[in-house]
């Protein structure tokens, strides 16, 4: 195909798309849509335009992040992108497999720990080790301030309360393990990203069930806290135990909030813009500019691709995000890179040879 013929085919392509598409193209040509970004390689490379994806951003407020942690909403961030109308299907299977494998493994391990505890530690602190040895609860700081009748009534209630919390933990972790196995079986049956994406559309946010079940199963720790609180024998010990439990709760909530909030913000950022797209002329211009600066240091194709990536700064200027080149742009860059590389060695490559090299 000669150049004039190729140009004529490209020039009539908008007409094939229809009047609406042609009008959209004319609007884009008169007004740039997107954000201009600098380049990783340095200021000698020209700024380029990256287009927004149009994906809806997740709420990043403090309340939204805490709610997301409690409901497992952050686990469906990628699912929302995959099941949206933006045509993203890749990663659906891997996302489900990784999430369920981790949740299922942890739930199964916790189940093996809690089941033996439920047989041995439900009421041992509410019973005498031998006749006349006394009760750990009755001898505690709080138990000593109760009457004999109150202590007798509390023993039965505390036994049932401890048993209920252990039951919640066992049922939660057991169900979390079973549901993850079920999800993995469904994913194995569908086998492809497209099939998993369709499955996600039909199941919706019920994919959070294993996380919610394992999260609720952690309620078994309440029985441990009750035991510590009622077994301690001095006021100082009671205060120390209370401070330790409160500190531990605040610490885990705070740390998890930092992790989940960072996950939500990072998800919004990496899905805000499309990969950087370079036209044939832009790729040639960028590679030539990069080659001029780096030819003497024997830069590799990987170095060139990394340098031509976009560098996007957050509004607060504290963080920067790297926007990689898309597939066709990488191939165009590779083609011009190999061309200049060969010319520097005094070799002239055919177009077909350059094409084959760009595919490697």
- Containing 312, the helix (H) or strand (E) segment is strand 310-313
The pLDDT mean for the chain works out to: 80
Between these two residues, 236 and 351, which has the higher pLDDT value?
Answer: 236
Q: Do the Cβ atoms of 53 and 64 come closer than 8 Å?
A: no
Q: What percent of the chain has pLDDT over 90?
A: 17
Looking at residue 251, what is its pLDDT?
94
| pLDDT tens for each residue of 162-219 | 889 999 999 999 999 999 999 999 988 888 888 888 888 888 778 888 999 998 999 8
| pLDDT tens for each residue of 75-108 | 877 766 666 655 555 677 888 888 888 899 999 9
Between these two residues, 313 and 14, which has the higher pLDDT value?
Answer: 313
Q: Which residues contact 162 (CB under 8 A, 6 or more apart)?
A: 121, 122, 123, 126, 223, 226, 227
Among all chains, which residue has been given the structure tokens 């370079």? 278
pTM attached to this predicted model: 0.70
**Of the ranges 28-32, 130-134, 195-199, which is most confident?**
195-199
Mean pLDDT of 23-34: 47
pLDDT at 10 over 80: no
Looking at residue 155, what is its pLDDT?
82
Beta bridge partners of 52: 273
Backbone angles phi, psi at 325, to 5 degrees: -75, 150
Q: Do the Cβ atoms of 210 and 75 come closer than 8 Å?
A: no
Report the length, in residues, of the chain.
360
Q: Do the Cβ atoms of 324 and 309 come closer than 8 Å?
A: yes
Mean pLDDT of 53-61: 81
Beta bridge partners of 323: 310
The vertex-20 CA angle with 18 and 22, nearest 5°, equals 70
Asked whether the CA dihedral 9, 12, 17, 23 is positive or negative, the reply is positive
φ/ψ region of 298 (left if φ > 0, alpha if ψ in -120 to 50, else beta) reads left
Q: What percent of the chain has pLDDT over 70?
A: 84
Q: Do the Cβ atoms of 213 and 175 come closer than 8 Å?
A: yes
pLDDT tier for residue 11 given thresholds of 50, 70 and 90: very low
Q: Do the Cβ atoms of 173 and 114 come closer than 8 Å?
A: yes
The three-state secondary structure class of 143 is helix
Looking at residue 26, what is its pLDDT?
39
Among all chains, which residue has been given the structure tokens 């939660």? 172
The three-state secondary structure class of 321 is strand
What b/e string do you get for 215-236 counting C-beta neighbours within 10 Å, with b at 16 or more? bbbeebebbebbbbbbbbeeee
List, edge to edge, every strand of the sheet that includes 35-39. Answer: 48-50, 35-39, 310-313, 320-323
Between these two residues, 356 and 303, which has the higher pLDDT value?
Answer: 303
pLDDT at 269 over 70: yes
Q: Which residues contact 342 (CB under 8 A, 6 or more apart)?
A: 348, 349
pLDDT tier for residue 15 given thresholds of 50, 70 and 90: very low
- Containing 320, the helix (H) or strand (E) segment is strand 320-323
Q: Which residues contact 171 (CB under 8 A, 6 or more apart)?
A: 217
Q: Do the Cβ atoms of 72 and 211 come closer than 8 Å?
A: yes
| pLDDT tens for each residue of 285-338 | 999 999 888 877 777 888 889 999 988 887 666 778 888 898 899 989 998 888
């Amino acid at each position: 195909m000669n150049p004039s013929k190729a140009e004529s085919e490209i020039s009539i392509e908008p007409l094939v798309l229809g009047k609406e598409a042609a009008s959209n193209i004319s609007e884009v040509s008169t007004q740039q849509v997107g954000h201009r970004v600098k380049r990783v390689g340095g200021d000698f490379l020209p700024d380029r335009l990256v287009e927004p994806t149009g994906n809806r951003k997740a709420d990043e407020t403090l309340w939204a992040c805490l709610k997301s942690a409690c409901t497992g909403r952050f686990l469906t961030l990628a699912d929302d992108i995959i099941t949206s109308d933006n045509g993203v299907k890749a990663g659906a299977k891997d996302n489900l497999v990784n999430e369920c494998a981790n949740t299922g493994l942890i739930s199964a391990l916790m189940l093996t720990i809690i089941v033996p505890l439920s047989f041995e530690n439900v009421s041992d602190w509410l019973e005498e080790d031998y006749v006349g040895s006394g009760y750990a609860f009755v001898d505690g700081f709080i138990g000593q301030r109760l009457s004999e009748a109150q202590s007798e009534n509390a023993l039965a209630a505390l036994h049932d309360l401890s048993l209920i919390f252990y039951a919640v933990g066992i049922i939660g972790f057991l169900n979390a393990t079973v549901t993850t196995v079920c999800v993995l079986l469904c994913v194995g049956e569908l086998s492809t990203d497209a099939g998993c994406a369709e499955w996600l559309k039909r199941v919706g946010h019920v994919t959070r069930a294993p996380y919610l079940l394992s999260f609720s199963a952690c309620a078994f720790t309440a029985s441990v806290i009750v035991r510590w609180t009622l077994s301690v024998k001095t006021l100082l010990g009671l205060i120390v135990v209370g401070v330790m439990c409160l500190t531990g709760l605040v610490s885990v909530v705070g740390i998890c909030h930092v992790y989940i909030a960072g996950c939500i913000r990072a998800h919004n950022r990496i899905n805000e813009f499309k990969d950087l797209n370079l036209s044939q002329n832009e790729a040639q211009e960028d590679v030539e500019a990069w080659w001029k600066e780096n030819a003497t240091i024997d830069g590799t194709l990987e170095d060139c691709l990394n340098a031509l990536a976009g560098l996007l700064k957050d509004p607060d200027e504290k963080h920067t995000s790297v926007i990689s080149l898309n597939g066709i742009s990488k191939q165009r860059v590779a083609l011009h890179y190999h061309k200049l590389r060969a010319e520097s060695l005094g070799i002239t490559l055919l177009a077909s040879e350059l094409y084959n090299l760009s595919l490697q």
